[in-house]
Structure 1
Amino acid sequence: MYYILFVHNHIIFCAVNFVDHHKYNSNKRSYYGIRNMSDKLCRENGLSVVVPGKGSKGKSYAEYQAEKTGTSWKGKLKTTVDALIPQVSSFEELLTRLQAAGYEIKPGKYVSCRASGQERFTRLKTLGADYTEEAIRERIAGRRTKAAKAPREQRGVSLLIDIENSIKAAQSKGYEQWAKIHNLKQAAKTMNFLTEHKIEQYADLVSRIEEMAAESGQAADALKKAEKRLADMAVLIKNVSTYQKTKSVYDAYRKARNREKYRAGQEQAIILHEAAARTLKAAGITKLPNLAALQAEYEALQAQKEALYADYGKLKKKVWEYDIIKQNIDSILQADRQPEREKETERG
C-alpha cells in the first residue's frame, strides 16, 4: 500500500479593480493559471499532480463514506429500483411497489422517494441518467438497458487503476475484471509511448518532464507579461480617451468667470478630466499619444497574446500527458518491487 499527498489552495480575490472600479470577472483562464502554480509547487516538492480528465460526477465526503459502509440512502434506493424494474410492467406499478417496500413517494415534476428513517426526500433523477422517469419507463418497457459502469476508453494513455485499494473493485468483480484489462491496455500504451518518444531510462523521462515544465513556465511568464501590457495599455487608452473627450469642458471651466457655478453643472466631466490628467502625469506622459495608434498596438498585442495562449495550451497538454506516463511507470515499478519487499519481510 502507498499513499498520495494532495495539495489544495485557499485564495482570496479582491472583488473590485482599483483602476476602473469594475468587478472582478472570474473565468477559467484565471483558474488554469492558479492550477499551474499549484502543479509547479507539487512537482518541486515531489508531490503527486492531479491530471485533469473526464470522469463521473463527484460525491460529497458524507455520501462517499455512506456508500463505503453500505448505508447510503441513494445506494439503497438504486438497488431497490434495479431489483423491482424486472418485476413491474409500468412506472406507476414501480411506485406502488416502492411504497410497499417502505418508501414514501412524493409526486410532482420530479418524483421523490424517502425511506423510513430518512430525513429528506431523494429525487429519482439525482440517482443518475438511468433513473429519470423517462429512463425508468424505457427500462421497464425493455427499450433501454442500464448503462455499464465502466468509463469509456480514452484515445490517449490514461492512468492505471489501483485495483488493490479500489472500493469499486472490492464491491464488483465485473469492475475488477474490467480494471485489470484496462491496466493491461494502458501499460501497453505507456510502453509504446516511451518507445515512440525514444525514452529508454526513467531518468530520461524525469528530465523530459522537467524540460517541458520549464518551457511551460516560460510560456506562462510570456503570457503574463503580454496580459500585463494589455492591462496597462487599456488603462492608458481609457485615460487618453477620457482626457480628449473632456478637454473642451475643462478648458471652458478654466476660462469661466464663475468657476464654482460652471463646475456644479459639469462636475462629472471635470472630475474625470482631472483624474485622467493626474494619471497621465504620474506615468511620465507629457505629450498625449495618438489614440488610433494606441488602439492598433493594443489589437496587435491582443492577437499576440492569443497566439501565446495557444502555444501555452499545447505545452500544458504535453506536460499532462507525460505526467500520466510517469505515474503509470511509477505504478508498474511499484508493483514489480512488491514481491521483493514481501520476501524481505519474510526473511526479517
Structure 2
Amino acid sequence: MAVTKIHPIKKTLYLALDYIMNEDKTDGKILISSFGCNPKTAHLEFEQTKRECNSKAKILARHLIQAFAPGETTPEQAHQIGLELCERVLQGKYEYVLTTHIDKGHLHNHILFNNVSFETGKAYQSNKRSYHQIRTVSDDLCRENGLSVIDENYKKFKSRYSTNGKSYMEYTEFKRGNSWKNMLQLAIDKAVLKAKTYEEFLKTMEEFGYEIKIGKYLSFRHKDKRDKGRFTRAKASTLGEDYTKERIKERIEEPNKYQIYANKKRHYEKCFYKKPDTIVDMKNNEKVKSSKGYEIWAGKHNMKTMADALNEMRNYGVNSYNELDKKLQETASKRQDTLGKIKQIESSMKEIYSAIENKNTISKNQLIYDMYRKDKENKAFYEEYKPQIIAYEMAMKGIENSKHKLLSIQNLSDKYMLLEQEKATLMEKYSSQNSMLHSLQQAKKNTDLYLDNHLEK
C-alpha cells in the first residue's frame, strides 16, 4: 500500500530541493529523475516558467509524497511507480523532480512539481478532487505492480453512499430516503434479487414502473415522472459501481445475493398526498354575507366536501364521529412509533458509518503508526506524519468504544445496506401514516365546522 499526501511550498524552494536530493537518502543520487528541468537548477526554472506565463500564483511548487509499506517493494520499483504517477497525474504539463528516499526503513517518493503549467500557464488546482485523483492513480499503480491497496469494500461503500455530485435538494431527499437515485438503486437491488436472468431483471424493472432505454448504458425513467421525465443512466459515476450494466449481470449470477440484497418488505410505489378541500365557514365568511351567489356556491361546495370527507373516513374504516376521534389517536400513535423506529435505524446507521470510517483510517495509517511506535523519539518522523498518527489514534479510540469493532468493513457495509432498505420501507410507511393523519384531521375539522354551521341554522 502507498500512502500519499501533498502540500504547497511558498518559500525556500531550493531548500526543499536540496532536502529531497540528499545523496544519503537517495542512494548516492542514483534515484533522482526530472522532467522539463535540471534537478540542480529546478528552482530557477520553475520561477522562469512562472514569469513567462505571467502567473501571479503565490505558491512556488507542490510537494507530493508517496510512501510504501516496509519490504513491499524495491527502490527501483518504487522509483518507477513514482515516474508513472507523475506521468498520469501531471500529464506532461508541469516540470518536476522525483527522488526516492531509502533512509527511513520504508521507501518513499518525493515529487516536487511546478505549481504553474508551462503548457497552459495556469496554476495547479489542489483540492479534494485532485487529491482523490492522486490517491486513485497511486492505488491503481500499486495494484498493477502487485502491491497492497486500500480496502476494496470500503471503496465500494463510499462509492454507493458518497454525497459527491448530489445537489443540496437531492442530498436532503437521500437522507430522508426519498431520493429518486436512491429509489432507483433500491429498485435495481430488488429486481436483481428476484431475477434469474438479465431478461427477467429488465421485465421486473418494468413491473416496478420503470421505462428502460437500452444503449451503451442502461437508462431508467419512472412512469410517475418523479425524476422530471429524465432517463437516468446506470453508470458508476451516477448510481455507483454496483449499478452498471455489466455489474448488474454479474450480481444476478451471484450465489450469495440473497444475503446482501434481500428485503421482501420493500415497496416502490410512491405515496402522494392531496390536501382535502375545506368547508367554507358560512357564519363568519364575509363573502358569503355579501354575495348571494357565493352563498349558494358555498352551500353546494360544503355538501360535496362533506360527502368526500365521509367517503374518506369510510375508506379508513371510520363510521362514526366517536370512531373518528379514536382513529386519529391511533394513527398519531402509530406514526410516532414509526418515527421512533426510523430514528433508531438512523442512529444505528450513523454508528456503522463511523465504524467503517474508523476501520479504514486504521488500515490506511497502520504502516505509519507501526513505524512511529517503533521509534517514538524520532521527532522529524512525527512532524512529517503527525496528521496520520493523530487520525490513527482517534480512530482506534473510536473503534474501541464501538460494538461493531469485531466486524469487517464488508460485514458492516452489508449491514448498513439492509438498514438503509429497512429505513426506506419505514419512510414509506411513515409517509402513508402522515397522509392518513392529515386526511383524518381535515375530515374532523370539516365535520366540526359543517355541524356547527348546520346546528346554527
TM-score by length of 1: 0.49
Flag the structure with higher strand content.
2
